[in-house]
Chain A
Amino acid sequence: MSTMQFGIFSVGDVTTDPTTGRTPSEHERIKAMVAIALKAEEVGLDVFATGEHHNPPFVPSSPTTMLGYVAARTERLILSTATTLITTSDPVKIAEDFAMLQHLADGRVDLMMGRGNTGPVYPWFGQDIRQGIPLAIENYALLHQLWRKDVVDWEGRFRTPLQGFTSTPRPLDGVPPFVWHGSIRSPEIAEQAAYYGDGFFHNNIFWPKEHTQQMIRLYRERYAHYGHGTPEQAIVGLGGQVFMRKNSQDAVREFRPYFDNAPVYGHGPSLEDFTEQTPLTVGSPQEVIDRTLNFREYFGDYQRQLFLMDHAGLPLKTVLEQLDILGEEVVPVLRKEFAAGRPSDVPDAPNHASLVARRDAEEAVPAGSGS
């Protein structure tokens, strides 16, 4: 297993293909997400992460159902989320659902916490968006306990109290799934990730690198502050967004209508401006390799790289072709190049086996002997 993890993350949007005017049904989109996840394993990627949404035009409202299905049909793939809504979901249910998934998938599970920025989702789930950060902090504090303490007494501001509660099933091998915290703009969340020694994922795909650098620098400094290691040893994940063809011009020509009509940035800047100002890369596999390798220069050695591949109405067939190129021509080179010159004390991306090993190593140290 290599030192870095590469994978894909899906928003799960149902979007009309602007070149044909065809809109997939929810059923087609859900099946397409599964096909994409299976393809990710087939082409040698490490991670598939699904979004969580509770409003149209998005389909993935029930991530562990989908990931459980994918788990049964894969062998190696790590199943993750991007993101799990820690604000509006009950942390007790998150603890239960993901522990169950962790058992079914034999440990191939981690998750990424996010707050969600769709205003109405908060009141639909009985919450208030103005309390987004406090909800993220309190709910995660409870989730963290539920996975680590067999019997939990709890009283907080947002949830009904718990007395003598045991979340079942207990995490696989007594080791909770690894947690990433995703945030684009909130230093409080970088601080939270650093405090717990968890991972920090910056979904940089719509942002200039200067902004991303600031957030990651903060997380790394605070990670060291809380004694989890040096700043360089903090666990960092990044997003990416690519479209590739053998010839750069073909990639640009084919992707432009999807870009121009994309729900997030369509009808705004030109494809050329956007590729210059954000990590979006539309071109040859070599251009994607060069661009992605630059991330290390900007943000330091990191642990996880997720690409957004299936959005803006791209047909499934095209997405699967993209994954072939990613898995065959891009990621093998990235693995090799990123491994070269990587300092030996920069940790690998955490997985279940490494977390079990770390727990065992910590328990083997006799009490009172220090670190």
Chain B
Amino acid sequence: MEKNDKPLKIVAVSAGISQPSSTRLLADRLAEATRRRLAEERAVEVRVVELRDVATDIAKNIVTGFPGPALREVIEAVTEADGLIAATPIFTASYSGLFKSFFDVIENDALAGKPVLIGATGGTARHSLALEHALRPMFVYLRAIVMPTAVYAASEDWGGGGDAHTDLLAVRIDRAAGELADLLLHRAPAARPVETVVPFEEQLAALRP
């Protein structure tokens, strides 16, 4: 098969707070696994964004309604990416406020049709379904295409050998990355949104009783 020269752009967003953070570590692992799965067929550009770096810009955007230059650049990178990896720590039974605020300041339809791989971290595996109850519905609302495998990494996963009912973290990361890579390779290139104007006669005609 002829190799497409244009690199696929993957952006991984991490809402981890501490430095280094396990959320960032998970985002890196997911991004690297995706890159590896794609490497044979496509060049890949990976960028990892730490929301911590634009935390105050996000707060300012909430107040003013527009992003400052640094945040605007991050939003553009995310909305123009071919695939998105989104990872957050689970705080108070859900995604972190910083994570939600970032997606709040992006236009509602900017992620429509975008393949998204979701991941989360927490101190205990008891919070893992927050991925399914909080992150997945949020991205579904935004009409993103969310990968079937969502990856939760509890503290114990970084060292544990799993159990009879759970795959190892590395296996889950690889499965999720494979899903994202397959979708990116086999789907038609995402159409760039075009600013369309509905001609005025059509707008008027739509109102005629």
Interface residues of A (CB under 8 A from B): 133-134, 137-138, 141, 155-157, 187-188, 191-192, 194-195, 206-208, 211, 214, 218, 222, 226, 264-269, 273-274, 277
Interface residues of B (CB under 8 A from A): 59-60, 62-66, 68-69, 72, 195, 197-200, 203-204, 206-207, 209
B60 touches A268 (CB 8 A): yes
B209 touches A155 (CB 8 A): yes
Residues on the B chain within 8 Å of A268, using CB: 59-60, 62-64
> With A138-B207, A192-B203 in contact, do A269 and B198 touch (Cβ < 8 Å)?
no
Chain A CB within 10 A, most for which of B63, B195, B199, B207: B207
CB distance from A320 to the nearest CB of B (A): 28
A208-B72, A269-B60, A269-B68 provided; 20 other pairs, C-beta below 8 A? A134-B203, A134-B206, A137-B200, A137-B203, A157-B209, A188-B197, A194-B200, A195-B200, A218-B197, A264-B64, A267-B63, A268-B60, A268-B64, A269-B63, A269-B64, A273-B68, A274-B64, A277-B66, A277-B68, A277-B69
Residues on the A chain within 8 Å of B72, using CB: 208
Residues on the B chain within 8 Å of A218, using CB: 195, 197
A206 touches B206 (CB 8 A): no
* In the bound complex, CA of A157 to CA of B204 (Å): 11
Residues on the B chain within 8 Å of A137, using CB: 200, 203-204, 207
* In the bound complex, CA of A191 to CA of B195 (Å): 12
B64 touches A222 (CB 8 A): no
* In the bound complex, CA of A191 to CA of B199 (Å): 7
6 contacts between A and B (CB under 8 A): A134-B207, A187-B195, A188-B197, A191-B200, A206-B66, A268-B62
* In the bound complex, CA of A87 to CA of B206 (Å): 17
* In the bound complex, CA of A269 to CA of B72 (Å): 15
B64 touches A265 (CB 8 A): yes
Considering the complex of A and B, which 9 residue pairs feature the smallest CB-CB distances, nearest first? A268-B63, A195-B200, A269-B60, A268-B60, A138-B207, A265-B64, A268-B64, A191-B200, A191-B197
Chain B CB within 10 A, most for which of A137, A155, A187, A268: A268
Residues on the A chain within 8 Å of B207, using CB: 134, 137-138, 141, 156-157
Residues on the A chain within 8 Å of B204, using CB: 137, 141
B202: nearest chain-A partner, CB-CB? A191
B209 touches A188 (CB 8 A): no
Chain A CB within 10 A, most for which of B64, B65, B66, B198: B64
* In the bound complex, CA of A298 to CA of B64 (Å): 22
Residues on the B chain within 8 Å of A206, using CB: 64-66
Residues on the A chain within 8 Å of B62, using CB: 268
CB distance from A300 to the nearest CB of B (A): 19
Residues on the A chain within 8 Å of B63, using CB: 265-269
Residues on the B chain within 8 Å of A207, using CB: 66
CB distance from A270 to the nearest CB of B (A): 9
* In the bound complex, CA of A218 to CA of B72 (Å): 22
* In the bound complex, CA of A147 to CA of B25 (Å): 66
Residues on the A chain within 8 Å of B199, using CB: 191
> With A155-B209, A268-B60 in contact, do A191 and B69 touch (Cβ < 8 Å)?
no
* In the bound complex, CA of A190 to CA of B200 (Å): 10
